[in-house]
Structure 1
């Protein structure tokens, strides 16, 4: 039973069905097919405006290429110090910007605060000896499972505008954030000042499908070339587009995200009733970050549950992890089952009945 990531789940049924249907017969290559055109039109409808869309296969490609469109080799991109872009992309943004620098700023729960970003920017010199800031990147959902409110996004974007920065959103868990806020894609992005978005779908039901969605036309000018040079212009592009068609049809992407968020909430509610368990950050989307006794951690791992220990750099001031405690991350997906959640909670609460039988890992 695996709560390590929403990446461990396979693709959903509607996505696979759309992929199989698109496989029949010949079709123009390299994104010149009608399915890709339909995805671009559909995303324009979803975001309530004309957008430029560049389909890619990975979140790393989406983030790195999006940032490279906004930041020259001599520029800076500001992000949270624990963001995926700076911590988990193996230097891909720096590689595709040909030497630009990512600056990580601190913030509780993986969130950047507008005042902290403003303070950092105000302290920079305009002399050529120092790299100039050119972009601000925020993660929605953050690496600590927090969701930026619409007001927080608008405040950060306003700082970006004042300092002439492009504002990028890493939306690897975009749908989970939308469901959590009960808002629309337009309201959470360009209407709040976002210029370019990494629109994630792989974590929420696709096989391998991400999109760079550009709201500022100037940032789209070079992306077709950047994508090609990055090896991300897929020859059988219809099979990439087909995943999005299955994903977006009949609000399937929202249904998947609602289920994942509900399973995470079920985990959090149950863990909150167990003595000795508290939370590093609130559960706001599909991730839970409990601080648990090491004895509970041992029992869960012995029972076959899989999850990751987590870093504690963005804990609230004064919060600490004790020597007999462990901070862990639990991630729910569209495929998470209620019975898996309930068994996890049963083991964690020390139920003799649940501990008597080790769960299957099949």
Structure 2
């Protein structure tokens, strides 16, 4: 197989993360997060976000998302999210399971971003009606499922509508670092300063091995999360091995460096594909994910050449390309040249 663009989770972990796990593996320490490593992670997040936060480490993004939602949403409530969001389409009903039955309500909007007008309507619809599922929380994805990124003003508009309706806001930050690099802002500006109450801080797609964090900015939401995490089977006994990964990830801005590389490779890939006849960029990539449309013969040619990417899951001819912190420049250039070669031969 040549270069793979299926997802950023195909890459392994950063060397410093593996080294940190090995170092933390020495000796004995208290279990279930009662260790110095886990305490250090909380201090590092407090510094990173410029405010006092509660942190709950888990090993998967699904766990981070659904536990966050369960802390915000009662069983009779609803989570308002985009109709293309990951929590609605790719979590195998885990949100419903962990919340005890809460409903996910999809909202339309261009580039997989929630339409504020539609959100305002649904945030108040049948509120107080005992016969109806009650709007209880809002969730945004940053980066979105099509590779777009909410601007700070767009986030503030969404959260202002949610706050006016009394709804807490969750951010699915599976690609948090990629979005942050794209916007060129601070972690605080893209979260609590923009009105976000709880964040699923992704690390596994960007250099960690099995470490994600639930970062809580609104203190009351942290009240039950310890019990929810334990009840859900995500309280790791050897928490130091998760914490050591996150420490390495946050040290010397590894998270930012990795994301800058991934985003840079996507910019190179997108620029190369733009000028190829027959290739259509659907939603311009702002971070490290791109959806584009190609002629079916071109797709078949690239797959036969040994390149890997997702196709056949959406409209005919639509493919998804994702770059990672380990995507080599040479691999990107070779993919573009292969696509161009096919287009020229066809012409």
- With the shorter chain as reference, the TM-score category is over 0.9
Superposed, 1:202-351 pairs within 5 Å as 202-309=204-311, 326-350=317-341
Q: How many residues align?
A: 343
Change (3 A) 1:288 1:2: same
**Secondary structure of the corresponding residue to residue 23 of structure 2:** helix
Selected match of 2:71 from 65, 69, 78:
69
Q: Distance in 1 between matches of 2:39 and 2:122?
A: 42
* Displacement of 1:27: 1.1
Partners of 1:64 and 1:93 within 8 A in 2 = yes
Q: Distance in 2 between matches of 1:177 and 1:168?
A: 15
Q: Does 1:195 align with 2:197?
A: yes
Bigger drift between 207-216 and 120-129 goes to 120-129
* Displacement of 1:120: 2.4
**Per-residue Cα deviation, 1:302-346 (whole angstroms, up to 9, x for no partner):** 10111112665xxxxxxxx6xxx6111000000100111011111
The CA RMSD measured in Å over matched residues stands at 1.5
Partner of 1:315: none
Partner of 1:135: 137
**Secondary structure of the corresponding residue to residue 350 of structure 1:** helix
**Per-residue Cα deviation, 1:79-102 (whole angstroms, up to 9, x for no partner):** 011111111111111111111111
Q: Distance in 1 between matches of 2:169 and 2:238?
A: 31
Partner of 1:174: 176
Question: Structure 2: where are the runs of 5+ without partners?
Answer: none
Partner of 2:46: 44
Partner of 1:14: 16
Partner of 2:4: 2
**Per-residue Cα deviation, 1:279-322 (whole angstroms, up to 9, x for no partner):** 1101100011111111211110010111112665xxxxxxxx6x
* Displacement of 1:125: 4.5
**Secondary structure of the corresponding residue to residue 289 of structure 1:** strand
* Displacement of 1:353: 12
Q: Distance in 2 between matches of 1:135 and 1:228?
A: 22
Q: Distance in 2 between matches of 1:282 and 1:301?
A: 23
Partner of 1:162: 164
Change (3 A) 1:160 1:198: same
**Secondary structure of the corresponding residue to residue 188 of structure 2:** helix
* Displacement of 1:278: 1.5
**Secondary structure of the corresponding residue to residue 157 of structure 1:** helix
Partner of 1:184: 186
Partners of 2:266 and 2:322 within 8 A in 1 = yes
Partners of 2:198 and 2:216 within 8 A in 1 = yes
**Per-residue Cα deviation, 1:165-210 (whole angstroms, up to 9, x for no partner):** 0100000000000000000100000001000000000000000100
Partner of 1:101: 103
Partners of 1:310 and 1:329 within 8 A in 2 = no
Question: Structure 1: where are the runs of 5+ without partners?
Answer: 313-320, 355-362
Q: Distance in 2 between matches of 1:164 and 1:171?
A: 22
Partners of 1:195 and 1:214 within 8 A in 2 = yes
Partner of 1:357: none
**Per-residue Cα deviation, 1:5-57 (whole angstroms, up to 9, x for no partner):** 00111001111111111111111111001010000000000000000000000
Partners of 2:124 and 2:135 within 8 A in 1 = no
**Secondary structure of the corresponding residue to residue 241 of structure 2:** helix
Q: Distance in 2 between matches of 1:66 and 1:169?
A: 9
TM-score when scaled to structure 1?
0.92
Q: Distance in 2 between matches of 1:208 and 1:304?
A: 28
* Displacement of 1:116: 1.7
